[in-house]
Structure 1
Amino acid sequence: MKETIFEQVAAAASVLKLDLSTEEFALFAEDQELSEAGMEAVQKLLSYLSEKKQQTTIQTLLKMSRLPTKAPKTFENFDFSLLKGKDVERLKVLASLNAIYSHRNLAFIGPAGTGKTHLAQAFGYACCQHGLKTYFIKASELRDRFTAARRSGKTDSCLNGLVRPSCLIIDEIGHCAFDKENTRLFFDLIDRRYNKEGSFNMIFTSNKNPALWREDFEEDATLLCTLDRIFDDATVFKLRGESFRGKKLETVSLQTGKVSAIEPIATKE
């Protein structure tokens, strides 16, 4: 059902955080004897300002997310035709962001070049487009951040910053080792997000099955508690097959010809 001009004005005013209800605008239009064209002009102005504010918010969220903006990875530019299997449709449904509203974590597991990071970033990009704060970090960067926070005595501040985003993406689990203290901080991070309220989830990518993550984390008891919280309510996508990378690679073979000797140039005395 199409919205009335009064509902459109109220919706735009809400985005702009203006205290203007449908009733108030109707009374204003009547008092000022606004014509239909006049009311449409007000509606178009507020809608323009509303859209401008939303786009500014999206760009700010993308910038803060650390997701690539020059050539963003999105669901629209992911080639789903390269994937086979009966569950491909479940990947396509991720674009609805159902996982973040149902607090369901996601994990993309598989060898290099099978699209794990692309899909994780695509989910984060979609979150930003819908006004949800997102943060992307590689496991090695997370380890280094934990280490720096411990040295400076700012672990609480570090953890709070990572708990805050609606969607937290941790890329390449299994590419670096976490010592005992960093493993405990990793647990603290997961535990705080596990008990977080509102719309949120976590996304992980790894070339190792979760059962093998203990190879890169010390203190098994802490890691087991961490895995319990991560996968308590999660969907794991296992991607198999050859790497997508290099599909457009073109190889050009060239051969040099025989080069004749160059006669020395005589110089005048």
Structure 2
Amino acid sequence: MTVFDKTWNTLNLEVIDHTLVVTLDRVGRMNAISPEMLGELAQVWDRFEREESLRVAVVTGAGSKAFCAGADVSSVADKSRARTGVFERENSFTPLQAKVTKPTICAVNGVCAGGGLHFVADTDFTIAADSATFVDPHVSVGQVSAIETMVLARRIPHQAVMRMMLLGRAEKLSAQRALELGMVTEVMPANRLRERALELAAVIASNSPDAIAASRACIWDALERPLHDAIRLAWPVLRAHGDNHPDAQEGPKAFFEKRPANWTVE
């Protein structure tokens, strides 16, 4: 048994070698985010972080029509829900918000709308099917677009995010346009998307987990700081790993001996 052996109502989870595949699974609602899904995702990221054998996670959507249609409109309009303006109480459903320290990949297999953009913004990188589309309809339905678009604006051109936000549902980006903007890193036929995501995850899992963790932390942290400050903070991390971590010696040794590296898992 693993920590994922339980019944999930809105997700489908698979463990493939060192990779966790998290599939948003509400096909009848275009995999829209419900309050129950929020809770289940928070549990998944907590367990993924704690499971030592897992090194990478892939997030995708069930079916071929939609990756995630955003927040379920029935829950958005429900004023009876116990909501709070405290961010930390309600936002731990993506890897970034849950402070996950392991690599994550988003594989967009169809429509990615509104809140679905959280996963594009909050994973390390995104790949997409050639049939995928991206749209932020918040303002068209009287809602505020803020969290996911704020993160996106630090990763892709600011004007592109502003245009998508201001035009709402009238601005639908194709997978190719998303690639041009850097929102996704690769576009492929829909029937190859899952296979490709797993290929990339396997390559990542073959690298030093501790070197990846330190590298990820430095690069994500740099988004929040002036470049000079980020470099000054990253330097001692780089040096401490290079001078003291076993992987820093094992990597070159394995390279010259033409064998797989035996990484330390701490």
Normalization by structure 1: what TM-score? Answer: 0.29
More strand by share: 2
Name which one, 1 or 2, has greater alpha-carbon Rg. 1
Normalization by structure 2: what TM-score? Answer: 0.29
